[in-house]
Amino acid sequence: MSLAFDDYGRPYIILRDQGQKKRMKGLEAYKSNILAAKAVANTLQSSLGPKGMDKMLVSPDGDVSVTNDGATIVEKMEIQHPTAKLLVELSQSQDAEIGDGTTGVVVLAGKLLEQALTLLDKGIHPLKISDGFDRACDVAIKHLESIAEEIDIQANDHEALIQAACTALGSKVVSKRKRELGKIAVTAVLDVADLKRKDVNLDLIKIQTKTGGSVEDTRLISGILIDKDMSHPQMQKEVKDAKICLLTCPFEPPKPKTKHNINISSAEDYKKLYQQEQQYFVEMVKLVKDSGANIALCQWGFDDEANHLLLQNDLPAVRWVSGTDVELIAMATGARIIPRFQEITPEKLGKAGCIKEVQFGTSNERMLVIENCQCTKAVTILIRGGSQMIVDEAKRSIHDAICVIRNLIKDNRIVYGGGSAELACALQVLQYADEVSSVEQYAVRSFADALEGIPCCLADNCGLNPITSVAQAKSRQLTEKNPRIGIDCMELGTSDMKEQKIYETLSSKKQQIQLATQVVKMILKIDDVIAPDDY
């Protein structure tokens, strides 16, 4: 790349490593950026909707994952192109904020860019396009709010929540069991939700996976599941009315942190030292026992001698419990974390109804279940499935469902899915377009076209004729004045999404439209790309 030439046609060296840089300007830059971003959107397009397909992604290490979740796909694709990366971040920020709708947001951005490309070809200034999109976005959001419906989340045994979860799960590989999984997700969220503050701390829901069994075996444990077993195979496997002692110090003789040397000058001293060590073990076990604890969970390891002593004293113990688990258990059982043995007091113990070791299938793996905790605020969803890939995908799906439910608890307004909300907005935006007198009119109209792209895509993925079905739905929306008409993806015979009970949260839809518009605006504003030349 060179910026200037002298009178003899030789380039000036103005920039460092000028020969190795590449520059794209003006229309060329817009087009290249849009094409790159569209390529990403096109990849995701076929994953949208209840009949969307999955992608198989192989990581550099050879790990295979199969997924339908937009954010995961783009993340694992390891995209290099700077503009395409913007879409990856778009999807991830939708994931961080809402947790669901990560595919939809990218597809929408792709559709918007596609429209922008044709407008650019018409010679419209890119900023006029982005202004138009912005205005159309405002109109669409306002319309969305007006067609949104408030639902009573508690009515009918939380039926609405379950339906919303089902919608989120509908597009995933686990869709066959969506009702069961939806229920599990709803119960899990409600268990930890603070309905008064309308807040849900998702950290309190632990999702544990275990291959084996089938997806139907997935269950909710109102307590905590940790992937650990008792430190000694002969310890009792079940503790009722457990009093838990949570330790963050090892069952070992204490060591000073300062570098130290022990000079042993005589055999007598050596014996003393040995005895002292033994004494430590006995004392430790005694201290735990005396406090009334009947199970000890330790963040660190045990000496084998300590393990033996614990068994002798009939005190089941678990070692190497991870820090996050320790914290979770502390929260759930009301235990205090104890940093050294001298500080063990009966008040610091946590209480749980039952701690037991469970074994799965024929494999030798065991897990610990802590149930009926004193301050039960933590729950675990144990996901089972035929293969690691299924289990992983099920985990992502349930995560999506949980996010949807959380959003509904925060804000109980919903819109109907199946592309109906997008269609309704598109119609509204189209109407508004005619009122705009300047060049932006074209951009506003294109925005409406882009919104229509979503139901189109849905229909296409379901094997319907996209043009016919969208046209039908559109005309019915207009004639019947019913914003709930969408695409009948499941071919249930009705296009009214209220009857099909396809719920989506308002916050998710709003966020999708806003974020997509924002990123498209940003891409449209770039007229110059300077990058290292790879070729």
Residues 281 to 300 in contact with another protein, rule: CB under 8 A = 299
Q: Is 326 in the site for another protein (CB under 8 A)?
A: yes
In this chain, which of 234, 263, 364, 479 binds another protein, going by CB under 8 A? Answer: 263
Q: Measured from the CB of residue 134, what is the shortest distance to another protein in angstroms? A: 5
Give the C-alpha separation, 242 to 284, whole Å.
19
Q: Measured from the CB of residue 132, what is the shortest distance to another protein in angstroms? A: 11
Q: Are 353 and 369 in contact (CB under 8 A)?
A: no
In eight-state DSSP terms, residue 349 is: -
Is 324 designated active site? no
Alpha helices for 346-387 (secondary structure H): none
Is 269 designated active site? no
In this chain, which of 234, 261, 364, 479 binds another protein, going by CB under 8 A? Answer: 261
Dihedral angle at the C-alpha atoms of 455, 461, 462, 465, nearest 10 degrees?
A: 70
Say which residues have a Cβ less than 8 Å from residue 217's Cβ, sequence separation at least 6. 384
Q: Measured from the CB of residue 275, what is the shortest distance to another protein in angstroms? A: 8
Q: Measured from the CB of residue 474, what is the shortest distance to another protein in angstroms? A: 28
Of 289-297, 421-429, 442-450, 522-530, the window that binds another protein (rule: CB under 8 A) is 522-530
In eight-state DSSP terms, residue 204 is: G
In this chain, which of 260, 362, 435, 493 binds another protein, going by CB under 8 A? Answer: 260
Q: Are 119 and 443 in contact (CB under 8 A)?
A: yes
Q: What does the block give as tokens for 267?
A: 């055999």
Q: Measured from the CB of residue 296, what is the shortest distance to another protein in angstroms? A: 16
Q: Measured from the CB of residue 184, what is the shortest distance to another protein in angstroms? A: 24
In this chain, which of 70, 126, 170, 455 binds another protein, going by CB under 8 A? Answer: 126
Q: Measured from the CB of residue 131, what is the shortest distance to another protein in angstroms? A: 8
- Cβ proximity to another protein: between 79 and 181 the closer is 79
- The DSSP element (H or E) to which 2 belongs, if any, is none
In this chain, which of 219, 308, 323, 467 binds another protein, going by CB under 8 A? Answer: 323
Nearest to 99 by CA among 407, 392, 393: 407
Of 154-162, 189-197, 300-308, 508-516, the window that binds another protein (rule: CB under 8 A) is 508-516
Is 187 designated active site? no
- Cβ proximity to another protein: between 10 and 481 the closer is 10
Set 54, 400, 460, 488: catalytic member: 400
Q: Is 89 in the site for another protein (CB under 8 A)?
A: yes
In this chain, which of 254, 292, 346, 386 binds another protein, going by CB under 8 A? Answer: 254
In this chain, which of 46, 83, 171, 477 binds another protein, going by CB under 8 A? Answer: 83
- Cβ proximity to another protein: between 41 and 184 the closer is 41
Q: Is 14 in the site for another protein (CB under 8 A)?
A: yes
Tell me which residues in 129-188 interact with another protein (CB under 8 A): 131, 134
Give the C-alpha separation, 285 to 281, whole Å.
6
Q: Are 234 and 374 in contact (CB under 8 A)?
A: no
Of 9-17, 143-151, 456-464, 472-480, the window that binds another protein (rule: CB under 8 A) is 9-17
Q: Measured from the CB of residue 387, what is the shortest distance to another protein in angstroms? A: 29
Tell me which residues in 360-419 interact with another protein (CB under 8 A): none
Q: Is 267 in the site for another protein (CB under 8 A)?
A: no
Q: Is 15 in the site for another protein (CB under 8 A)?
A: yes
Q: What does the block give as tokens for 166?
A: 């089902």
Q: Measured from the CB of residue 337, what is the shortest distance to another protein in angstroms? A: 5
In this chain, which of 47, 307, 495, 511 binds another protein, going by CB under 8 A? Answer: 511
- Cβ proximity to another protein: between 303 and 327 the closer is 327
Q: Measured from the CB of residue 42, what is the shortest distance to another protein in angstroms? A: 19
Q: What does the block give as tokens for 335?
A: 């235990």
Q: What does the block give as tokens for 409?
A: 């608890």
Q: What does the block give as tokens for 519?
A: 């990123």
Is 103 designated active site? yes
Tell me which residues in 199-228 interact with another protein (CB under 8 A): 203
Tell me which residues in 327-366 interact with another protein (CB under 8 A): 327, 330-331, 336-340
Q: Which residue has the tokens 């709010």?
A: 145
In this chain, which of 59, 63, 82, 313 binds another protein, going by CB under 8 A? Answer: 82
In this chain, which of 53, 64, 96, 195 binds another protein, going by CB under 8 A? Answer: 96
Q: Which residues pair with 298 in a beta bridge?
A: 247
b vs e for 319-335, b when ≥16 Cβ sit within 10 Å of the residue's Cβ?
Answer: bebeeebbebbbbbbbb
Q: Which residue has the tokens 């290099």?
A: 80
Count the alpha carbons within 13 Å of 390 in the hemisphere toward its beta carbon.
18
SS3 state of residue 412: coil
Q: Are 463 and 51 in contact (CB under 8 A)?
A: yes
The DSSP code sequence of 462-520 is: TTS-HHHHHHHHHHHHHHHT-TTB---TT--S--BHHHHT-EEEHHHHHHHHHHHHHHH
Give the C-alpha separation, 58 to 387, whole Å.
16
- Cβ proximity to another protein: between 265 and 364 the closer is 265
Q: What does the block give as tokens for 191?
A: 């268990």
Q: Are 338 and 348 in contact (CB under 8 A)?
A: yes
Set 69, 229, 325, 392: catalytic member: 69
Q: What angle do CA 332, 334, 336 make, to 5 degrees?
A: 120
- Cβ proximity to another protein: between 411 and 496 the closer is 411
Give the C-alpha separation, 419 to 474, whole Å.
10
Tell me which residues in 17-36 interact with another protein (CB under 8 A): 17, 29, 33
Q: Is 493 in the site for another protein (CB under 8 A)?
A: no
Nearest to 427 by CA among 171, 72, 224, 139: 139
- The site for another protein, by CB under 8 A, has a size of 75
Catalytic amino acids?
69, 102-103, 400
